[in-house]
């Protein structure tokens, strides 16, 4: 039958890969959402000033960059926990 799902020989690895995939997708969605919100709000934020620059410009030029870097560090920290949890519970294959 074509709808049979093959049984995996290593379910721990499959759970690890699925968890990593979900984390990566969540990070990408969060990054794209932040960029979209910053672009959409830039015109409204430009009526305020920060260090003699329009706030929308500052958010788009620096704020989104800092957010993406912070998300990257957060991703690494969470991924390290996921890897550590797997290495403690099962043998890496």
Q: What are the extents of the domains in the chain? A: 24-89
Q: Is 56 exposed, middle or buried (0-12, 13-18, 19+ CB in 10 A)?
A: buried
- Residue-wise pLDDT for 69-88, tens only, equals 999 999 999 999 988 887 76
Task: Read off the pTM.
Answer: 0.71
Contact 90, 12 (CB under 8 A): yes
- Residue-wise pLDDT for 4-36, tens only, equals 656 667 777 788 888 999 999 999 999 999 889
d(CA 26, CA 79): 12
């Amino acid at each position: 039958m074509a709808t049979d799902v093959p049984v995996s020989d290593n379910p721990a690895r499959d759970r690890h890969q699925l968890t990593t995939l979900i984390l990566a997708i969540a990070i990408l969605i969060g990054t794209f959402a932040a960029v979209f919100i910053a672009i959409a709000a830039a015109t409204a934020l430009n009526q305020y000033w920060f260090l003699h620059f329009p706030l929308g410009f500052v958010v788009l030029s620096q704020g989104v960059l800092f957010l993406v870097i912070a998300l990257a560090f957060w991703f690494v920290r969470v991924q390290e926990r996921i890897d550590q949890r797997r290495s403690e519970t099962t043998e890496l294959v």
